[in-house]
């Protein structure tokens, strides 16, 4: 129990990010990384925005990309805004090439991540790290 909240340790996680160009962001995450479009929505009224939810259907998380004419904030990624996928092995060259063809830019994320993976900036500048390490809770 955490602060009166009971958790199983595996709640579903939603990561939301604003995007200047939803089509370009979708191309990077879907055609580049291989995620699937789980849901798509269009602004239906004041204060609403267009969105695309991407992820893997059996994963405990999804990435929600929001944009459109009523976008409340512009994307403002920093070098520390990392989305890390632990691959537990080498990064496939074809995957890296696909990410670049889909609008990604290979960037440095500093000595640690450069040693343990490959980093790409998506079309909005947010960073995806493909880590060669395995996830560990310790």
The whole-number pLDDT of residue 108 equals: 95
Q: What would the mean pLDDT of 22-44 be, rounded to a whole number? A: 95
Decide if 36 contacts 56 (C-beta within 8 A): yes
The whole-number pLDDT of residue 2 equals: 56
pTM above 0.85, yes or no: yes
The SS3 of residue 95 is helix
Q: Name the superfamily (CATH) of residues 13-69+77-131.
A: 2,3-Dihydroxybiphenyl 1,2-Dioxygenase, domain 1 (3.10.180.10)
Query: Domain map of the chain by residue range?
Result: 13-69+77-131
Asked whether residue 70 carries a pLDDT value surpassing 80, the answer given is: no
- The pLDDT confidence band at residue 68, using thresholds 50, 70 and 90, is confident
Q: What would the mean pLDDT of 82-93 be, rounded to a whole number? A: 95
Backbone torsions φ then ψ of 99, nearest 5 degrees:
-60, -40
Listed in sequence order, the DSSP H helices in 2-136 are 22-26, 93-101, 111-116
């Amino acid at each position: 129990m955490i602060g009166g909240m009971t958790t199983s340790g595996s709640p579903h996680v939603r990561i939301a990010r604003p995007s200047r160009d939803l089509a370009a962001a979708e191309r990077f995450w879907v055609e580049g990384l291989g995620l699937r479009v789980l849901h798509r929505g269009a602004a239906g009224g004041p204060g609403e925005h267009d969105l695309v939810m991407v992820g893997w259907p059996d994963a405990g998380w999804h990435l929600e990309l929001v944009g459109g004419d009523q976008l409340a904030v512009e994307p403002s990624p920093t070098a520390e805004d990392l989305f890390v996928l632990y691959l537990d092995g080498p990064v496939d060259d074809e995957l890296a090439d696909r990410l670049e063809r889909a609008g990604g830019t290979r960037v440095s994320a500093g000595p640690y991540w450069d040693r343990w993976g490959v980093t790409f900036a998506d079309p909005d500048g947010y960073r995806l790290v493909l880590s060669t390490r395995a996830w560990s809770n310790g």
